[in-house]
Structure 1
């Protein structure tokens, strides 16, 4: 874990691959448990956990050591889960299934099943029934044992708001559990034990999940894709989105989608470099010694210097046209 905590954004692709492997060993279980508290479905939690680690791999260069690796991963995971809960798939498929299920069982049956559950199961289920805003802070405070200040920084909510949500969650849980005869000052004090003994017994980040995730970001595969991009670029007389269509055919739709961010970045750089070199050599008669590209939306600000020390700058649009 020490190596994971010390990692920098100046690693080679293969080193980043090894770091991802170690991150999954250290935090895979914790991330999948967190994800489950959002989506409340075992299969979905597995899929989203893999997506989160792939996203983290692609964002390694953004890590600035302003927080621990675990905190950084949790922030990525929480945002990813919230995006999923807003998605069309969740709203149309998952919620429709819940509606059908809930219309079959009446309120009396639900209450009877709840009363028959163990104390741990009742507490865990009660927490999972809380509104997301309350459920989130309860899990981070009682299970992960974060302070209200740390939760405030993570969620970017005022610390008083976090304390208010915790108090309201306690009242809601106390009212729900009072029917089962529980009497306690803080009904949430046993959340960690309750989750470990019930719902988390089936939440397991497996070696198979890890392997599937690593295959998605295999450095050798990435290198092959980069070579294909380079070859396609220099073989083709096309520009812009026409090249992207060629790439999709050459590397396959799935690999293209899995590596779309890398494809666009490398394509921008290679296409710009090729275009800049041709323009500069035609106009100045000397090869480029230095160039810098800064993305500005669909435009790129380019600064170049040739071997004779001449400098210039201009804007380059996606299709390769010069702008002043």
Structure 2
């Protein structure tokens, strides 16, 4: 790695958001060390394909290891790093209901491991992937970071709150600048195959029924991946304070019914719906107030929902 470049660790860098981020970092003259355990939550081949275009980049180093394996972390991470972007986590609200213990281990203990690594290696900038799910059932729309009454309704959400609180502790005690970014339903090319837009699109193309939970009124603040990545990129350079939480959303909501209609229009196919009751752990709406991120991170989402769906379709057709 070049000593003339800022060296960044990106955990979970072979995933959906992480792979887009490392491309932007490499294009912006950073050296990047990716940590990813290629968790079989979905196919490791998909993740390797995500980073295939940059895997041989001279300023990229890929390390297949687990953030729970502290011995490996200290043995293999020998660079002079200035920033950690911690994206690695057990993902998904619904799966966390089935196995909450592993979510606690990876998302809380794993985050603390990375914070300890930052402390021991004197890494002063730590960007953490949090989630809109921390708000839970909260009727104060749009959701603001200043609302401290959080009502999480899934184990996954509780682990993300725990990560934010750990960051506050390490910021206070050890002077690590901790920036928590609450992601709001990120979508776009390389989206995880279990997430709604990807899953529904494939079923639509194959003429298979789509499981349609509830009456279609649930709403999500869909955020295009390039916008989320720009927010992360700006957070890497943020220096105004030592602890902050930011919403990275689109400040617009799309209902489940509207999302299905958009997919039907873009793919020019009629969906077959399998109507089912609402699922445990699902919140009725996510809706971000992004004024804080606009002001302090210069975060300005640029891709609207339909354009993002078109981009996703174009990518999916190449797979």
Structure 1 length-normalised TM? 0.23
Flag the structure with higher helix content: 1
User: Higher relative CO (CA 8 A, sep ≥ 6), structure 1 or 2?
Assistant: 2
Higher-strand-fraction structure = 2
Larger Rg, first or second structure (1 or 2): 1
